Amino acid sequence: MPEYIKTVEDFVKDHINEKITLKMMSDCVYLSQFHFSRKFKKETGLSPKQYVLQLKIANAEDLLVSSDKKVYEIAEEIGYEPSRFCNLFKEYKGVSPSAYREARHTRLATA
């Protein structure tokens, strides 16, 4: 994996609770937005936007299972308005954040 991908990965993880833009990501590796976006997709198979969303959803999944935080608190923690977060989560995972939490807790309780 190229070093600039690792740099971007670290940047995104360090700023996961913020609105992360293409400009922010490309600036941290000193590339134009166009070149960064093209190179990033070629290396990872994901657009920068898809990559950020994937990491934010993974972070939310962890928080839904490992904490008692309310869904709106998790949404705000990862940088989304609650309604936008719920829509994105459902689109990405196929269930609402609450249903995901309930299913995971039920699965863990019966294991």
Q: What is the reported pLDDT for 46? A: 96
Q: What is the reported pLDDT for 107? A: 72
Please report the DSSP string for the chain in residue order: --HHHHHHHHHHHHTTTS---HHHHHHHTT--HHHHHHHHHHHHSS-HHHHHHHHHHHHHHHHHHH----HHHHHHHTT--HHHHHHHHHHHHSS-HHHHHHHHHHHHHH-
Q: What is the reported pLDDT for 100? A: 96
Specify the CATH number of the domain 3-110. Answer: 1.10.10.60
Kindly list the domain boundaries of the chain, sorted by start residue.
3-110
Q: What is the reported pLDDT for 17? A: 87
Q: What is the reported pLDDT for 64? A: 96
Residues in the chain predicted with pLDDT less than 50, given as ranges, are none
Q: What is the reported pLDDT for 82? A: 96
Q: What is the reported pLDDT for 111? A: 56
pTM of the entire structure? 0.85
Q: What is the reported pLDDT for 45? A: 96
